[in-house]
Amino acid sequence: MNSIFYGLLGLIAWAPLPLGSNRTWAWAILVAGSSLLAIAWLVGHLRGRFVVTDAFRRAHWALGVGALWLLYIGLQFVALPAEWVQTLSPRAYEAHATAAGVLGHSIGTTLTLSVDPHATRDFWFKTVAYECMFCLTLLVVDTRQRLELLLKTLVVSGTLQAFYGSIMVLSGLEYGFVIKKFATGLVTGTYVNRNHLAGYLNLCLAVGIGLMISKLGGEAIHTWRQRIRSIASLLLGEKTRLRVYLIVMVIGLVLTRSRGGNAAFFASTLIVGAIGLMLMRNAPRSTMFFLVSIVAVDIFVVGTWFGVDQVAKRIQETEVTSKVDNLLPTENRDEVDRLALKYAQDYLFTGSGGGTFYVTFPTYQNRSVVGFFDHAHNDYLQLLTETGVIGLALCILIVLLAAVQALLALRRRNDSLMRGTAFGVMLAICWLTIHSTMDFNMQIPANALTMTVILALAWVAAALRGGGSRDLRKRREHSDRESKTPPAFAPAPVHLRTSAVIGHGPTT
């Protein structure tokens, strides 16, 4: 189990490094790695070495929705009778007919709901990786120690991204992942797009804030000796290091100058902070001070570097200039969204196929929108266009199920780590809800995978108890061994006592 758990941590830490795993070879590593880990766990389970955790059992509805999602996306690229496709998605049928006419072919007897089945197949493989990571998180994060180590892995990964990106900008080297950066003067870490780094930092900040909340509070201080010990622990202890990591990530987030990333961070921290303080029973006063300090640091850094008024102005702007390659002219995102809505109406129920936005959207572009768009700057719209109402509903349902579990854990759990983890999950969900209206973070494999792992932590926070399933299994094995060993004071069997009496009794 340890090797599988550390393999899981390795994939989580690796995912953001190669350009957010937004390259074919990079996300293929995630697919292969997560699949191998899942197979290894399944083999161990069949041999009786691993047991199913309470968190996995509790997440049965989410697992069922995930299975439906995989089946649905698979149905999009599987060949179906042409009459079925014409009935289910008339627009997709027309697209296939147009493509066949351009190539000089007649339309086949079988077609796919996806207008580009190869792109949808790739989309399905990425989904397999996310599903495997979701299940593995539920199955192998079975102790408090493992849960805390996973949270720390995300915090360290986010801190390194923020630190590396800041150093690149300040030093003028401007390297991303091995290659020269496209967007100079902005913190991008090992990502290409600053907005996607901002999204990743928001996720890492969410779990980091949750981890910090789990460590707040403590024993009452009555003597000077206790006070001195408390001050020394504060200066040299783990909480101080964690606070520094969070500050580094906040600075990195600000220096990305991502409007959506900073706005989502502000809003989610305030909203979830208020909800958390209402739901968490006996929450220490230091929790409120900590949340206020996080927001205050962000405001201070923003004001110091380029002013709060400039950030507000950028948030109000509707026109944006592409900084990725310095070649694309200014485009209007509102106009792109309007065109994407028309696109979604034509593929309303089943979508054009996962990963096919780049193929289909050009047919809806007009002269008011210049440039090539491989993604919508809105995750909701992209899911609606590619997977239809059915796919969008399935994705929203999984997030809602995770939010319910996190809220229940905040309300019911007394364990500080579980409550902190649930708080972090709620922060991540709130951030996703807000930022997805402005960007396409969930189309970046590293961010989607990280979000999937965090969603799984909602059930871990709600179900993990005591030492976890591994310790429970050890206790059961120990009790089984004791039950098989007769106690030393147990009376001898009846037949032995009878024979002894007969053997040593008086003879006649």
The tokens for 283 are 């929450």
Instruction: Show pLDDT as tens, one digit a residue, over the chain (508 residues).
Output: 789 999 999 999 999 999 999 999 999 999 999 999 999 999 999 999 999 999 999 999 999 999 999 999 999 999 999 999 999 999 999 999 988 877 667 788 899 999 999 999 999 999 999 999 999 999 999 999 999 999 999 999 999 999 999 888 888 887 777 777 777 778 899 999 999 999 999 999 999 999 988 887 655 455 666 556 655 555 556 788 898 899 899 888 888 888 888 889 888 888 888 888 787 766 666 666 777 776 666 666 655 554 455 555 555 554 444 444 333 444 467 788 889 999 999 999 999 999 999 999 998 988 777 777 888 889 999 999 999 999 999 999 999 999 999 999 998 888 989 999 999 999 999 999 999 998 899 999 999 999 999 999 999 999 998 544 444 454 445 444 444 545 444 444 444 444 443 444 444 3
User: What is the structure's pLDDT at 228?
Assistant: 60
Q: Where are the alpha helices (DSSP H) in 141-193?
A: 144-171
CA angle 392, 393, 395 (to 5 degrees): 65
The backbone torsions φ and ψ at residue 331, rounded to the nearest 5 degrees and listed phi first, read -130, 160
Q: How many CB atoms lie within 10 A of CB 178?
A: 9
Residues pairing with 332 in the sheet: 319
Nearest CA to 356 out of 374, 335, 333, 379 is that of 374
Check residue 459 and give its pLDDT: 97
User: Any idea what DSSP says for residue 221?
Assistant: -
pLDDT for the residue 492: 46
Q: Where are the domains of the chain?
A: 2-219+236-470
CB contact at 8 A, 250 and 319? no
Taking the C-alpha atoms of residue 227 and residue 42, their distance in angstroms, rounded to an integer, is 51
Which residues pair with residue 175 across a beta bridge?
Answer: 180
Token pair 């991204």 is found at 161
Predicted TM-score (pTM) of the model is 0.84
Beta strands in 310-354 (DSSP E): 319-320, 331-332
Nearest to 23 by CA among 31, 12, 13, 35: 31
What's residue 171's pLDDT?
A: 83
Tokens at residue 147, please? 């849960």
H/E element, 245: helix 238-255
Judge contact between 231 and 276, C-beta under 8 A.
no
Question: Do residues 351 and 76 touch, judged by C-beta distance below 8 A?
Answer: yes
Closest Cα to residue 461, out of 497, 413, 401, 396?
413
d(CA 389, CA 391): 6
Residue 358 burial (CB count, 10 A): 13
Q: Tell me the three state secondary structure of residue 279.
A: helix
Rg of the chain, C-alpha, whole Å:
28
14: its two tokens: 């690796």
Please give the pLDDT value at position 314.
Answer: 56
Residue 7 CB neighbours (<10 A): 18
